[in-house]
Amino acid sequence: GVGETMPFFNQESLQQRLQALIDGARESWAYAIFWQSSSTSDFATPSVLGWGDGYYKGEENKNKRRASSSSANFVAEQEHRKKVLRELNSLISGVQAAGAGSVGDDAVDEEVTDTEWFFLISMTQSFANGNGLPGLAMYSSSPIWVTGTEKLAGSQCERARQAQGFGLQTIVCIPSANGVVELGSTELIFESSDLMNKVKYLFNFNI
Amino acid sequence: LSAVPQARRASLARFLERRKERVVSA
């Protein structure tokens, strides 16, 4: 398994663990994020969870959710998202060697879905211990599993409400060594010990 | 871009590259 063959904590190994977690799952998760804790052995210093890495898989039934695609708001929002993506794309392409994976305009001009956008803006977020779903999971040392539009919308956590606004129906945060693993889906997925065990196996490593 | 931490930059590059693959294969 991945956990046995990759003993070291690095970006590549983290990405493979996130992939292994949702590519092999029966449920259709749209993404997995590892929120990395800044904490050290000094327990007096408050820890912050920041972006460690993420794997975006996408939604299975994307076409079902395109009801409002002709509204003016939708068009304006898409223009904004594509503009941001275009800028990010040129920044990334600019630092890569010529021909080494620059992304063409076709990909940028394709609709940027709500789930993709939620994943992208997640990269700008961080959570103090006890704040937001990931921070709360870390603070309580127990998994948080929120299924259903109403539960997400009614959550005290801004991130859960934001997820619901972008069409997600399930969001899960599972604490692990040095951070929190978060998964999101546009489907209704109910709590399973299978996923918890997988996270325990794949992410309980020490830096 | 140098202000963007390495982890996010790598994740972003990967996301954009995979998005391109999804669009091409669609």
Measuring CA to CA, how many Å separate A206 from each of A7, A70, A100, A127?
9, 49, 33, 21
Task: Write the pLDDT tens digit of every residue in A72-87.
Answer: 899 999 999 999 999 9
* Pairing assessment for the beta strands A144-147 and A170-176 based on DSSP bridges: antiparallel
Q: What's the rounded mean pLDDT across residues B1-21?
A: 82
Residue in the structure block whose two tokens are 């630092």: A95
- CA-based nearest distance A116→chain B, Å: 9
Q: Is A73 exposed, middle or buried (0-12, 13-18, 19+ CB in 10 A)?
A: exposed
CA distances (Å), origin A76, targets A43, A80, B23: 47, 6, 21
- The pLDDT tens digits of the residues spanning A130-167 come to 899 999 999 999 999 999 999 999 999 999 999 999 99
Structure tokens at A179: 């951070």
> Is the minimum CB–CB distance between B20 and chain A shorter than 8 Å?
yes
Distance CA A135, CA A178 (A): 12
pLDDT reported for residue A9? 58
Nearest beta carbon to residue B18 from set A56, A95, A96: A56
Banded model confidence at residue B5, pLDDT cuts 50, 70, 90 = confident
Per-residue tens of pLDDT for chain A, all 207 residues: 444 444 455 667 899 999 999 998 999 999 999 999 986 666 666 789 999 999 999 987 665 555 556 788 999 999 999 999 999 988 888 755 444 445 556 667 889 999 999 999 999 999 998 899 999 999 999 999 999 999 999 999 999 999 999 999 999 999 998 899 999 999 999 999 999 999 988 987 644
Report pLDDT for A38: 86
CB contact under 8 A, B7 and A92: no
